[in-house]
């Protein structure tokens, strides 16, 4: 009877260590998401966005910009040409996806920027920033955007586009 009691206690202890799915997990995976409330691009307007990794590990980022008709804004897979451009901090840059506008990796504690650059094709809508990382981070990114209207090479107006109220996500 005593052996049965110890066996039962051992079984309870093992059960406490097992995840709800019944599998013991040795690694963790973190994700997060925030909405870009608005973007625009035309021959006289552009939006720029900064994305900062606030963790100690590299982080994978997916940006999906939706046009006003609900379609995904797609580009030419170059960080320096096309109507979406990005800085060199955006590692593994790819804007030739079919299910997102662009994907990239940010190193730990680094900041990269991308913009909807001046173009004769007028587009506007909203977007979603998603991140994923091996690790236990609760928050991984902080992001901010800005709008600029330019006529005859002079900036006529500019304003901020807050993302997640300026808070990490």
Give pLDDT tens digits for 11-40: 444 444 333 434 444 568 999 999 999 999
Specify the pTM: 0.79
- Do residues 159 and 145 lie in contact, with contact meaning Cβ atoms separated by under 8 Å? no
> Above pLDDT 90, what percent of the chain?
60
Q: What are phi and psi of 75, to 5 degrees?
A: -140, -155
Tokens 């913009």 identify what position? 115
Give pLDDT tens digits for 57-88: 999 999 999 999 999 998 877 777 777 888 88
The reported pLDDT for the residue numbered 24 is 40
Please report whether residue 5 resides in a domain: no
CATH number for the domain that contains residue 61 = 2.60.120
CA distance 93 to 77: 8
User: With 0-12 CB in 10 A as exposed, 13-18 as middle and 19+ as buried, what is 140?
Assistant: buried
Position 119 confidence tier, pLDDT thresholds 50, 70, 90: confident
Please report whether residue 7 resides in a domain: no
Domains of the chain: total: 1
């Amino acid at each position: 009877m005593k052996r049965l009691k110890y066996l039962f206690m051992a079984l309870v202890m093992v059960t406490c260590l097992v995840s709800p799915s019944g599998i013991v997990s040795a690694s963790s995976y973190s994700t997060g998401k925030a909405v870009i409330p608005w973007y625009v691009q035309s021959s006289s307007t552009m939006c720029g966005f900064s994305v900062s990794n606030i963790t100690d590990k590299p982080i994978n980022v997916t940006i999906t910009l939706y046009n006003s008709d609900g379609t995904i804004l797609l580009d030419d897979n170059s960080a320096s040409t096309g109507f979406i451009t990005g800085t060199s901090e955006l590692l593994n840059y790819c804007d030739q996806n079919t299910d997102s506008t662009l994907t990239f990796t940010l190193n730990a504690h680094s900041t990269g920027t991308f913009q909807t650059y001046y173009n004769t094709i007028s587009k506007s809508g909203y977007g979603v920033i998603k991140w994923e990382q091996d690790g236990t981070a609760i928050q991984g990114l902080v992001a901010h955007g800005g709008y600029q209207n330019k006529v005859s090479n002079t900036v006529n107006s500019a304003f901020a586009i807050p993302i997640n109220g300026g808070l990490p996500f």
